[in-house]
Amino acid sequence: IMWLNEYEQQLRRDLQGVASDLRWSAVELLRIAEQLRLAGNDVDAQATLKLCELFQGDEERLKGYAEEVKAKIITRTKAQ
C-alpha cells in the first residue's frame, strides 16, 4: 500500500469537504424547492431542483477525485 503524502492527504480532505458542503447545500435547496412548490411557485421550485441536480453531480465528481487521490491516480507533491 502506498501511503499519501501530507499534500495528497490535504487534497483528499479538501475534496471530501467540498463534496460534503455540496451535499448539505443540495439538501437545503430541496427543502426550499418544496416550500416554493407548496407556495405555488413551481417555476422557481423547478429552477431550484435543477441546481440540486448540478450540486449532486458535482458532489459525485469530487468524491471520485478524492478516491483517485487515495488510489494515487492523482498525486500532489506540494501545496498549491
* Tens-place pLDDT, residues 1-44: 579 999 999 999 999 999 999 999 999 999 999 999 999 999 99
pTM comes to 0.85
Can you say how many angstroms the Cα of residue 78 is from the centroid of all Cα atoms in its chain? 23
pLDDT at 80: 64
Which run of H or E residues covers position 75? none
User: Which contacts qualify for 71-75: CB closer than 8 Å, 24 or more apart?
Assistant: 72/2, 72/4, 72/8, 74/8, 74/11, 75/8
Distance CA 80, CA 68 (A): 18
